[in-house]
Amino acid sequence: MQNRRRFPRFPGRIADTPTTEAVIPTPDRIDTALNTHKRLSRMVSAGIVALGLIVLAVALLGRGRERERKAARVMVGDDSTAVARLLGQPPHRCPTSSLGHLTGQFEPGTPRPTIEAALQQLRGRTAQRWVYPDGAGCVPGDGDTELGLDASGRVLWIVPVRERRPLVYDAPPG
């Protein structure tokens, strides 16, 4: 006699099987499955979200602070290749402008005639502006780094961090 295994019987036709829709677990069922209470699971979820937001904030602030530290090491007179090595290739190489946007970047308390005289000298000598923004474009925003280069590729002026660090420049005598 042959040894036959007995398999459970299934309906022969698909129409014989009752259709059931997938049951989506509700929070009560999840709490029951995890053997927890609603309050505890909500506190854990809130803690995970808060921790994620803290990590994201630290990462974003750290990136800006790193660029700020590097920009503070750029000196007037540095070559453009040294600047590119330190800060990376500039995302935006911009033509010179009136440099009027630099008016508010001078040390607080700088007299208006001194600002105008310095801007006049910088306008005539600036051949190119490099802008390292978080956003895009040649209009620097708060926290951006901007520098001006002369025709030979040397740094004439730099704003290490817009709205936080003043303009650094070396005006020629006379």
State the burial class of residue 147 (Cβ atoms within 10 Å of its Cβ: 0-12, 13-18, 19+): buried
Q: Is the pTM of this model over 0.85?
A: no
Where does the pLDDT of residue 66 fall: very low under 50, low under 70, confident under 90, or very high at 90 and above? Answer: confident
CB-count burial class (<10 Å; 0-12, 13-18, 19+) for 130: buried
Asked whether the beta carbons of 150 and 156 are under 8 A apart, the reply is: yes
Sheet-wide strand order for 128-132: 92-94, 128-132, 145-149, 155-159, 168-169
Instruction: Please give the pLDDT value at position 154.
Output: 92
pLDDT, one tens digit per residue, over 85-144 is 888 887 788 888 778 888 888 888 889 999 899 999 898 899 999 888 766 678 887 778
CA 117, CA 162: separation in Å to the nearest integer? 21
Question: According to the model, what pLDDT value does residue 141 have?
Answer: 78
Residue 7 to residues 18, 45, 142: CA-CA distances in angstroms? 20, 46, 74
pLDDT of 174 strictly over 50: no
Structure tokens belonging to residue 89: 């290739």
Biggest CA pair distance of the chain: 117
Q: Looking at residue 54, what is its pLDDT?
A: 87
Higher pLDDT, 131 or 64: 131
Contacts 24+ apart (CB under 8 A), 111-120: 117/171, 118/169, 118/171
In whole angstroms, give the CA distance from residue 63 to residue 71.
Answer: 12
pLDDT confidence of residue 89: 82
Q: Determine the residue type at 148.
A: G
Phi, psi for 130 (deg, rounded to 5): -110, 130
pLDDT above 60 (res 1): no
Q: 31 and 37 in contact (C-beta within 8 Å)? A: yes
